């Protein structure tokens, strides 16, 4: 354990020597509830001081926990106080650490309130800052923009509302779709995807661009059929499928631009150290075998690559954390020149961007008021606070309001995505077991009711219609041969969830036993699995319409855990051109401003394909950064 002794500690020793009860020197541990499960905190004390604090184990959100497990313990030791600031946006985990220290202190014999010492703070003064480029939002798009702007030699000031980088991007599935013909041909798949292409090509084109894209894909598909490859793909097919998958509500010209840049963007990520698993798969809701899966948990690999690279450009990159942007500043010609912000301690920060200001503040699926206001379509029966969310607390649609205030047009605002398989209590996704399609969805009666490789909106609606609006993800040793090594998205093992009774995970040695544990009729569940296996073998056609089959479910033990749809992504937002300039209703550009990431509304239409959002924030974050740096 690290030894941190400071002036505050020395003072604490003196004060305590004067009166308080002595603690028994030694090392103590306490286990307290964290955000997603138990957290064990260890402390070392002398008679009158805390000399070390360490988080010994936890199941906090990957990516977010990194911002607290060092900082909070260090602050406690430094200040000899439990009254340290929590990390904004990671407050539950921060408080869990403090509560662990408090419990451990009791074991050490500390007096109640002994370490509730007020910490003196400097009086804040207002600040006026200038950079070449100001970026609002330190999620995926914001950091991608910071990278390309600094790459171009611009100095960047990034304003982030919370105490961490990552936004919703860091808690995403970390998946990245793009055509990758060499790897795609090694995809584990027993069925042909060619009918999907044929179906899209058989459609009557709705306009000239649609026809042109179909013609291009048709020619590419004919060429592919002459080869011995077994998965067809191309940027144009990726664009067309994304557009069709969003009910043609997105913009096909924007999607062609996006899809063409997807693979070069993957290479850019890899050049910064981002690692993907060596096999392609079809992530749930992606509708095709073109998903690259991050090796690190959730979206953390992207942020490691981004932050490691930005750390080498410290002369050009500054971030103001715990600072909320509130409104844009324009000059007399309507050009955006800066941002008015307020820091957590209340002082004003006025940030001027000489070459441009980028809004990368994400979507609004976690903002109940906004999602209820805008999502007027009949698609979702309920979007009230009763619906859980996967979103981080800092992502509340602020940038949409700011952009609108300077004249930007908002489009497709009624399009919201529910993620079908979130933790029913917390909305978390880090506890999803990675089964790579070798699993099935069943309701509380043990019946299958939806294709697992379908659209996210269709899966979510189907789950909402089941008893209690929930489903179980069912898998077997065929997908996870050993629970001690089988991983969840957040990199914990299946065994961890089972042993700690977390997220509703259950295991049984027989399918019958699993049915009994879940209160299902064993005969119904057995038939569900038998039918499922007959579809995998190609002996029968799945009435739910699933196409991508991988493995039969045959081998014990059996596992299941419950899932519910959660408000996840907003497809609508600022209308931009492909250079990330926000547009007014008359099509004119708002000078000085750039928008990228989930704040924009042009791409995903009525249903975003799983694995397409990271491509979006990387491609357009980069463009925004480069264009803002050049003032273009």
Which residue among 371, 448, 456, 546 is the active-site one?
456
Least distance to ligand ADP, CB of residue 25, Å: 42
The SS3 call for residue 157 is: strand
349 strand-pairing partners: 127, 341
Report the residue number, 146 or 547, with the smaller CB distance to ligand ADP.
146
Is 297:66 a contact under the CB 8 Å cutoff? Answer: no
Report the residue number, 142 or 557, with the smaller CB distance to ligand ADP.
142
622 is catalytic: no
Residue 581 neighbours by CB under 8 Å, 6+ apart: 589, 590, 593, 594, 627
Least distance to ligand ADP, CB of residue 456, Å: 17
For residue 13, count CB atoms less than 10 angstroms from its CB and return exposed for 0-12, middle for 13-18, buried for 19 or more: middle
Report the residue number, 159 or 287, with the smaller CB distance to ligand ADP.
159
Least distance to ligand ADP, CB of residue 339, Å: 8
> Can you give the length of the chain in residues?
632
Report the residue number, 213 or 403, with the smaller CB distance to ligand ADP.
403
Q: Provide Rg for the chain, Cα atoms.
A: 26
Least distance to ligand ADP, CB of residue 398, Å: 3
Cα distance between residue 326 and residue 398, in whole Å = 8
Q: Which residue is nearest to ligand ADP (CB)?
A: 139
The verdict on whether omega for the bond into residue 233 sits within 30 degrees of 0, i.e. cis, is: no
Report the residue number, 59 or 599, with the smaller CB distance to ligand ADP.
599
Least distance to ligand ADP, CB of residue 324, Å: 4
Provide φ and ψ at 220, rounded to 5°: -65, -40
The SS3 call for residue 177 is: strand
CA-CA-CA-CA torsion sign (148, 151, 155, 158) = positive
Q: Which of 290, 231, 285 is nearest to 263 (CA)?
A: 290
The DSSP-derived string for 410-453 is EE-TT-EEEEEEE-TTT---TT-B--TT--EEE-TTS-B-S-TT
CA-CA-CA-CA torsion sign (380, 460, 391, 82) = positive
The DSSP-derived string for 145-204 is HHHHHHHTT--EEEE-SSSSS-TTGGGS--EEE---HHHHTT---SS--HHHHHHHHHSP
Cα distance between residue 362 and residue 569, in whole Å = 9
Token pair of 123 as six digits: 């009086």
Other CB atoms within 10 A of residue 377 CB = 10
Provide φ and ψ at 174, rounded to 5°: 70, 20
Report the residue number, 496 or 594, with the smaller CB distance to ligand ADP.
594
Q: Which of 240, 227, 239, 217 is nearest to 185 (CA)?
A: 227
Report the residue number, 52 or 398, with the smaller CB distance to ligand ADP.
398
Report the residue number, 79 or 168, with the smaller CB distance to ligand ADP.
168
Least distance to ligand ADP, CB of residue 415, Å: 15
Q: At which residue do the structure tokens 């007959």 appear?
A: 534
Token pair of 236 as six digits: 């144009």
Least distance to ligand ADP, CB of residue 306, Å: 11
Other CB atoms within 10 A of residue 117 CB = 17
Summarize as ranges the residues that interact with ligand ADP (CB under 6 A): 136-142, 159-162, 167-169, 324-325, 360-362, 394-395, 398, 597-599, 617
Least distance to ligand ADP, CB of residue 258, Å: 14
Q: Which of 328, 356, 338 is nearest to 155 (CA)?
A: 356
Least distance to ligand ADP, CB of residue 417, Å: 13
Report the residue number, 9 or 395, with the smaller CB distance to ligand ADP.
395
The secondary structure element, H or E, covering residue 325 is strand 323-330
Cα distance between residue 47 and residue 561, in whole Å = 47
The SS3 call for residue 79 is: helix
Active-site residues, by number, are 456
């Amino acid at each position: 354990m690290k030894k941190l002794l400071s002036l505050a500690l020395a003072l604490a020793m003196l004060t305590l020597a004067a009166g308080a009860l002595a603690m028994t020197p030694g090392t103590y541990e306490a286990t307290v509830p964290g955000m997603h499960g138990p957290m064990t905190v260890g402390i070392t004390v002398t008679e009158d001081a805390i000399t070390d604090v360490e988080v010994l184990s936890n199941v906090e959100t990957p990516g977010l926990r990194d911002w607290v497990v060092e900082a909070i313990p260090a602050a406690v030791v430094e200040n000899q106080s439990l009254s340290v600031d929590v990390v904004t946006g990671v407050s539950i985990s921060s408080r869990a650490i403090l509560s662990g220290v408090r419990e451990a202190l009791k074991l050490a014999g500390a007096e109640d309130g002994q370490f509730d010492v007020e910490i003196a703070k400097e009086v804040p003064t207002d600040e006026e800052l200038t950079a070449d480029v100001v970026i609002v939002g330190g999620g995926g798009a914001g950091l991608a923009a910071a990278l390309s702007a600094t790459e171009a030699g611009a100095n960047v000031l990034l304003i982030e509302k919370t105490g961490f980088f990552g936004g919703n991007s860091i808690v995403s599935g970390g998946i990245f779709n793009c055509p990758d013909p060499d790897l795609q041909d090694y995809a584990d798949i027993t069925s042909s995807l060619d009918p999907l292409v044929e179906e899209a090509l058989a459609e009557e084109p709705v306009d000239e661009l649609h026809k042109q894209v179909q013609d291009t894909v048709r020619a590419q598909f004919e060429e592919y059929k002459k080869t011995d490859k077994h998965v067809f793909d191309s940027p144009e097919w990726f664009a067309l499928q994304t557009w069709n998958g969003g009910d043609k509500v997105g913009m096909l010209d924007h999607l062609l631009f996006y899809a063409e840049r997807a693979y070069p963007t993957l290479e850019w990520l890899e050049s910064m150290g981002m690692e993907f698993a060596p096999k392609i798969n079809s992530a749930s809701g992606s509708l095709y075998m073109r998903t690259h899966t991050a090796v690190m948990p959730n979206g953390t690999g992207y942020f490691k690559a981004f932050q490691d690279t930005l750390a080498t450009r410290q002369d050009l990159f500054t971030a103001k954390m715990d600072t909320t942007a509130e409104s844009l500043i324009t000059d007399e010609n309507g050009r955006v020149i800066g941002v008015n912000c307020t820091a957590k301690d209340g002082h004003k920060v006025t940030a001027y961007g000489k070459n441009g200001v980028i809004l990368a503040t994400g979507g609004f699926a976690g903002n109940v008021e906004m999602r209820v206001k805008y999502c007027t379509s009949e698609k979702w029966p309920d979007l009230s606070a009763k619906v859980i969310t996967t979103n981080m607390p800092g992502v509340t649609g602020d940038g949409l309001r700011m952009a609108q205030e300077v004249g930007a047009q908002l489009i497709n605002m009624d399009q919201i995505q529910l993620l079908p398989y979130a933790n029913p209590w917390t909305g978390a996704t880090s506890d999803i077991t990675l089964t790579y399609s070798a699993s099935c969805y069943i309701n509380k009666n043990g019946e299958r009711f939806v294709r697992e490789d379908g659209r996210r909106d269709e899966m979510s609606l189907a789950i909402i219609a089941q008893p209690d609006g929930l489903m179980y993800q069912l898998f077997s040793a065929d997908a996870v041969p050993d629970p001690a090594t089988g991983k969840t998205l957040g990199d914990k093992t299946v065994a961890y969830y089972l042993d700690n009774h977390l997220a509703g995970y259950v295991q049984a040695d027989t399918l019958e036993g699993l049915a009994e544990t879940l209160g299902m009729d064993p005969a119904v569940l057995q038939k569900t699995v038998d039918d499922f296996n007959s579809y995998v073998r190609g002996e029968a056609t799945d009435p739910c319409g699933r196409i991508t089959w991988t493995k039969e479910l045959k081998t014990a033990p059996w596992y299941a855990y419950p899932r519910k749809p959660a408000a996840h992504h907003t497809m609508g937002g600022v209308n931009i051109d492909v250079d990330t300039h926000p547009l007014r209703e008359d099509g004119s550009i708002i000078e000085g401003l750039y928008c990228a990431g989930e704040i924009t509304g042009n791409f995903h239409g009525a249903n975003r394909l799983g694995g397409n959002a990271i491509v979006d924030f990387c491609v357009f974050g980069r463009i925004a950064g480069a264009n803002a740096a050049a003032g273009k």
